[in-house]
Amino acid sequence: MPALTLHKAHPVLLRNAGFDEAWLQQRILEDPAMLGLGDVSVIKREKKQSSGGRLDFLMLDAELDTMYEVEVMLGRLDESHIIRAIEYWDIERRSWPSREHSAVIVAEDITNRFFNVIGLFNRAIPVIAIQLNALQFEDKIILNFTRVLDLYEAPEEEETDDEPNTDRKYWEGRSSPESLKIVDQCANLLIADGHNIQTTYRASRITLQGKGQIFGWFEPRKVQPQCKFSLRLNAADLQQALAKLEAAEIDAVQGKNRERLRVIILPEELTKHEALVHDILKMSLAASET
C-alpha cells in the first residue's frame, strides 16, 4: 500500500463554489449510496406530488423493503423544508402502504434549533437529517454526508408504563411469523438457562424482562422477515458486543442512550450465530438485575 500524503482542504458552501442544487442532485443520482442510507436505488427523481410540489428523490432499499423520501437543499435548513419533506413522506407512504418509509432531509447547515424541531416530529414520524460538508482541494470538490439525526428508534429504549399492552394475536397480525419467531427464540434461549422471562406485548414493541428491569425491546417486522431490537448493556459489555456482532456481519449500533445496543437481525443470522446472541442476551439480562 503506498504511503498516504497529507493534503489541506478547506470547507466551502456549494453556491459559493459555483454549484447549484441541480448539480448536487445529479451527483446523488449518479451515486445514491453516498448519502449513507445503505444499498439504495433511485426510483424517481423530481417526483410530482398530488400537493403540487416535487419530491427530489424517491429511493428504495430493496433488501429492507424501505423507501426514503429525500429532500435536498443548499445552505441552511429552514422550517418550510422540514414541512415539505414530511408532507411528501406522508403522500408516498399512503401510495406504498406495505413498505416502511423515512423522510430524509439533506442540507449544508442544520442548526441546533432545527434539531429540536425535527426531534419533536420524530416522536411520530421517522425523519433522518443528513448534513452535507463540501471540501475544496485545489480544483476538486469533496462531498461528505453525515447522518446527524435519526431519533426514530428512541421509543424502543424507553421504559414508560404509559403505553397500552396488547396481546400475541395483535403482533401476529402486525409482524411476519419469521420475525416474531426471533423474539420467541431470544426469550427461549434464556428460559433454557433456567431464567423466568416475562414477555409483554405492547402497542409499539415487545419487551422482555427477568427479575430486574426490562432488558430487551423487540420490534418484529411484517414485510421483511427481520427483527429490530434494543438491549440494555453496561459500557464494557456493549463495546464487546458491538465488536463481535460486527465481526459476524450483523447490523448493530450503539443507541442514543449510551447503555443501549440496537440490532437488526434476520432469522438465518440468528440460527448461524445463536451462541453469540445467547451470550449477549445473558449480558443484557445480568445488567438489568444490577
pLDDT at 195: 94
∠ CA(135), CA(136), CA(138), 5° rounding? Answer: 155
pTM above 0.85, yes or no: no
For 28-86, the pLDDT digits (tens) are 999 998 998 888 899 999 999 988 889 999 999 877 778 999 999 999 888 888 889 99
pLDDT band at 157 (very low <50, low <70, confident <90, very high): very low
Class of domain 10-152: alpha beta
CATH number of 155-288: 3.90.1150.20
Instruction: Specify the 3-state DSSP secondary structure of 54.
Output: strand
86 contact partners, CB below 8 Å, separation of at least 6: 103, 121, 125, 127
Q: Residue 49, class by beta-carbon neighbours within 10 Å (0-12 exposed, 13-18 middle, 19+ buried)?
A: middle
- Residue carrying the nine cell digits 424507553: 158
CA distance 271 to 278: 11
How far is residue 222 CA from its own chain's centroid? 17
Question: Where along the chain do the CATH 3.90.1150.20 domains lie?
Answer: 155-288
Question: Where along the chain do the CATH 3.40.1350.10 domains lie?
Answer: 10-152
Question: Are residues 221 and 229 in contact, defined by beta-carbon separation less than 8 angstroms?
Answer: no
